[in-house]
A and B are shown apart, each in its own frame.
Chain A
Amino acid sequence: MQQREEKQLEASVESLISRVAHVKNALHSFIYKLENEYERLTWPSVLDNFALLSGQLNTINKLLKNEKTPSFRNQVIIPLLLSPDRDEDLAKLTEQRVPVFSHEIVPDYLRTKPDPEVEEQEKQLSAEAARIGPEVAQKQIQTLNKLCSNLLEKLNNPREDRDAESATMRQNKSSFNPADTNALVGAVAFGKGLSKCRPPGPVAPGHPGQGPMMSGGPTLQQVTIGGGSGQQAGMGGPVAPQQQGQPGKMPSSIKTNIKSASGSMHPYNR
Chain B
Amino acid sequence: MMEYLLQGSVLDQALESLLHRLRGLCDNMEPETFTDHELVYLLKGQQGNPFILRARRSLSHPKAPWHLRYLGQPEVGDKSRHALVRNCVDVAASHSLPDFLNEMGFRMDHEFVANGHIFRKGAMKIVVSKLSRILVPGNTENTERLSLSYLVELSVLAPAGQDTVSEDMRSFAEQLKPLVHLEKIDPSKQRH
Contact = CB atoms under 8 A, between A and B. Distances in A.
A248 interface: no
Contacts of A170: 178
A185 B187 contact: yes
A181 B149 contact: yes
Interface in A167-201: 170, 174-178, 180-196, 200
Nearest to B112: A194
Nearest to A193: B146
A99 interface: no
B9 A176 contact: yes
A217 interface: no
Interface stretch (A13-21, A106-114, A232-240): A232-240
A181 B133 contact: no
A182 B190 contact: yes
Contacts of A189: 187, 190
A208 interface: yes
A185 B147 contact: no
B131 interface: yes
B36 to A, nearest CB: 12
Contacts, number: 115
Contacts of A269: 46
B45 interface: yes
Contacts of A207: 42, 50, 109
A196 B151 contact: no
Contacts of A190: 187, 190-191
Given A181-B8, A188-B151, A194 B133 contact: yes
Contact of A181 (B7, B13, B108, B179): B7
A191 B149 contact: no
A209 interface: yes
Given A195-B109, A238-B107, A175 B11 contact: yes
A270 interface: yes
B185 interface: yes
B144 interface: yes
A175 B14 contact: yes
Interface string B87-118: 00000000000000000010111111000000
Interface string B127-171: 000010110010000001011110100000000000000000000
A227 interface: no
Nearest to B192: A206
Contacts of A196: 110-111, 134, 137
8 contacts: A174-B178, A175-B179, A183-B147, A184-B131, A185-B185, A206-B191, A239-B109, A270-B105
Interface of B: 7-11, 13-14, 17-18, 40, 42-46, 50, 105, 107-112, 131, 133-134, 137, 144, 146-149, 151, 178-181, 185, 187, 190-191
